[in-house]
Amino acid sequence: MIKKLLIADDDPEIRLLIKKTLDLSDYEIYESKNGIEALGTVFYKKPDVILLDIMMPGPIDGLEVCRLIKSSQWSSHIRVVLLSALSGVENLKAAGLVDADAYLVKPFQIMSLLETLKTESRCVNP
């Protein structure tokens, strides 16, 4: 069964790297470059998994996008993996407060990304 995956990151190189990594996978891949686009894609495409950058331009950052997704009855089941160049306890706490399912620190290892996508359990750690 093909799963839908949204890559929400303002960096086109990161989006391209992830797309190329998952090129031969069973994912139908969508992209967005800011929080507003990400929410629109979630609403219209209903992805199974979202790779969501925390720091994106515009009025809504990745933490707020995650909070909105996880607080809505129709989208709370979507698996959200936060991506960030920021590490540290405060960021992990913030990810937990918005109910993120996982947290990867950039630059992340490709194997870490693949393992995180394969894992269905919650794991908010760097």
45 in a structural domain: yes
Domain contains 74: yes
Instruction: Encode pLDDT of 14-46 as tens digits.
Output: 999 999 999 888 899 999 999 999 999 999 999
pLDDT band at 126 (very low <50, low <70, confident <90, very high): very low
Over the Cα atoms of the chain, what is R_g?
13
CATH number, position 82: 3.40.50.2300
User: What is the distance between the alpha carbons of residues 71 and 86, in angstroms, rounded to a whole number?
Assistant: 24
- Asked if residue 126 belongs to a domain, the reply is no
Parent domain of 74: 3-118
Q: 50 in a domain, yes or no?
A: yes
pLDDT of residue 79: 95
Tell me, what's the pLDDT at 105?
A: 85
CA nearest 44: which of 3, 15, 102, 4? 4
3-state DSSP call for residue 62?
helix
Residue 77 covered by a domain: yes
- pLDDT above 70 for 94: no
pTM: 0.88
Residue 26 lies in a domain: yes
User: How many separate domains does the chain show?
Assistant: 1
* From 44-48, 83-87, 98-102, 113-117, the region with the lowest mean pLDDT: 83-87
Q: What is the dihedral of CA 45, 48, 54, 58, to 10 degrees?
A: 10
What b-and-e string marks burial along 37-66, b requiring 16 or more CB atoms within 10 Å of the CB? Answer: bbbebbeeeebebbbbbbebeeebbbbebb
